[in-house]
């Protein structure tokens, strides 16, 4: 047959972009949203509005959920399950949840879905709504491999799928870890901009160079494989960029920030990591020794 039918539940910016991408490729798309009005332009684009959430999941084997968090899924599907105890509306269905939440929430949801006879795949979309379905879009997935592979061609329309493994928590773990890098870098850019503007320097004189500093990080640490090997081996050879030297710099950033009257919480957190390494007697090792301070200590 032709393209398989897909249900999209949740029509925020991400769910809408997902539905548009599926419609563009000729998939029959059924949609449902708590606020029905958000479906209007999708209906003009060929989507079908399900009258109830139960009818939405009944319409397709594959349901993609794009909601604020996992609680929203229970708010929507909980009553559906309750009212269909005998008919088992979720039995044999595949739920792909692209909502953000914790890895544990994903694991609990997979177990919940299994009790309803449904398969559950966790996803984490790594681009904002305007980039969904376009070049450069990618999505982390975890859950049952056979189920993922069956629907991989359809899911590819959202972004390049990157399957991580059977553990349903993995996709959200990777999503959170990538956003850890992303959000911390964004805050550092704003903090540093506040530092120079407090001294009367226009932000435009600073930010282009600051972006170069971000872009220089790969040249410093490579593609990550060698750093990964060293972190896992606990090797932090101290010749250049020792924890003591970098920690002194972190301290200067705290004092300069305090003197400027701007927020000191972010540089203080960074300084604390270096202080801990120095106090542990590891100041002459490479800055990567901070990893030993940050990871679970066994
Ligand atoms: P929104 O928060 O804008 O969309 C929320 C959707 O969830 C709406 O359809 C809303 O319904 C529904 N919803 C929320 N709470 C409930 C509830 N209790 N019961 C029923 N429906 C509910 O999110 P986005 O579309 O921006 O994102 C969706 C997911 O994708 C989020 O988890 C987000 O973290 C993730 N994500 C977002 C990115 C982005 O750039 N926006 C990028 C990558 C991932 P209603 O319309 O009725 O309010």
| Assigned CATH class of 6-165 | alpha beta
Please report the atom of ligand 1 found closest to the CA of residue 15. Answer: 25
* pLDDT given at position 297: 66
Please report the atom of ligand 1 found closest to the CA of residue 11. Answer: 9
Of the candidate CATH numbers 1.10.1040.10, 2.120.10.30, 2.60.40.1180, 3.40.50.1100, the domain formed by 173-294 belongs to 1.10.1040.10
The full set of domain ranges for the chain reads 6-165, 173-294
298 — pLDDT class (breaks 50, 70, 90) = low
The predicted complex's ipTM stands at 0.98
The answer to whether the beta carbons of residues 77 and 97 sit under 8 Å apart is: no
> How many angstroms does the Cα of residue 52 sit away from the middle of ligand 1?
18
Closest residue (by CA) to atom 19 of ligand 1?
72
Closest residue (by CA) to atom 13 of ligand 1?
67
> How many angstroms does the Cα of residue 38 sit away from the middle of ligand 1?
12
HSE at residue 264, side-chain half, CA atoms within 13 A, is 15
Strands 119-125 and 138-142: antiparallel
172 — pLDDT class (breaks 50, 70, 90) = very high
> How many angstroms does the Cα of residue 186 sit away from the middle of ligand 1?
22
What pLDDT digit, counting tens, does each position of 107-119 carry?
Answer: 999 999 999 999 9
In the chain, pLDDT over 90 holds for what percent of residues? 93
What pLDDT digit, counting tens, does each position of 177-204 carry?
Answer: 999 999 999 999 999 999 999 999 999 9
Strands of the 138-142 sheet, one edge to the other: 48-49, 29-32, 6-9, 62-65, 94-97, 119-125, 138-142, 160-163
Ligand 1 pocket, Cβ-based, cut-off 6 angstroms: 10-15, 33-35, 38, 66-68, 72, 75-76, 98-100, 125, 128-129
220 — pLDDT class (breaks 50, 70, 90) = confident
> How many angstroms does the Cα of residue 103 sit away from the middle of ligand 1?
18
102 φ/ψ sector (left φ>0, alpha ψ -120 to 50, else beta): beta
240 — pLDDT class (breaks 50, 70, 90) = confident
> For the chain, what is the mean pLDDT?
96
Question: Which residue has better confidence, 218 or 120?
Answer: 120
CA 62, 63, 69: angle at the middle one, nearest 5? 145
Ligand 1 site-directed mutation target among 57, 67, 78, 100, most atoms within 8 Å of CB? 67
In the chain, pLDDT over 70 holds for what percent of residues? 99
Closest residue (by CA) to atom 12 of ligand 1?
67
Please report the atom of ligand 1 found closest to the CA of residue 13. Answer: 25
User: Of 61-70, 218-227, 289-298, where does mean pLDDT reach its minimum?
Assistant: 289-298
What pLDDT digit, counting tens, does each position of 243-283 carry?
Answer: 999 999 999 999 999 999 999 999 999 999 999 999 999 99
């Amino acid at each position: 047959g032709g393209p398989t039918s897909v249900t999209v539940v949740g029509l925020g910016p991400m769910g809408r972009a997902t539905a548009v991408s599926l419609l563009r490729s000729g998939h029959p798309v059924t949609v449902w949203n708590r606020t029905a009005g958000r479906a209007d332009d999708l209906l003009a684009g060929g989507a079908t509005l399900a009258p109830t959430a139960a009818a939405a999941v009944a319409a397709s084997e594959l349901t993609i959920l794009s909601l604020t968090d996992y609680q929203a899924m229970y708010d929507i599907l909980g009553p559906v399950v309750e009212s269909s105890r005998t008919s088992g509306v979720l039995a044999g269905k595949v739920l792909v949840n692209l909502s953000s939440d914790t890895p544990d929430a994903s694991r609990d949801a997979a177990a919940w879905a299994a009790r309803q006879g449904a398969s559950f795949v966790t996803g984490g979309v790594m681009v904002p709504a305007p980039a969904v379905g376009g070049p450069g879009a990618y999505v982390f997935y975890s859950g049952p491999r056979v189920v993922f592979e069956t629907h991989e061609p359809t899911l590819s329309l959202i972004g390049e799928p990157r399957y991580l493994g059977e553990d349903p928590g993995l996709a959200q773990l990777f999503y959170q870890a990538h956003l850890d890098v992303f959000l911390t870098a964004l805050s550092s850019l704003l903090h540093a901009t506040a530092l120079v503007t407090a001294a009367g320097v226009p932000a435009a004189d600073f930010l282009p160079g600051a972006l170069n500093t971000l872009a220089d990080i790969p040249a410093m640490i490579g593609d990550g494989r060698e750093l990964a090997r060293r972190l896992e081996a606990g090797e932090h050879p101290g010749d250049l960029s020792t924890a003591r030297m970098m920690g002194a710099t972190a301290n200067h950033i705290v004092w300069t920030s305090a003197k400027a009257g701007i927020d000191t919480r972010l540089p203080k957190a960074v300084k604390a990591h270096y202080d801990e390494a120095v106090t542990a007697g590891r100041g002459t090792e490479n800055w990567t020794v901070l990893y030993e301070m940050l990871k679970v200590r066994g």
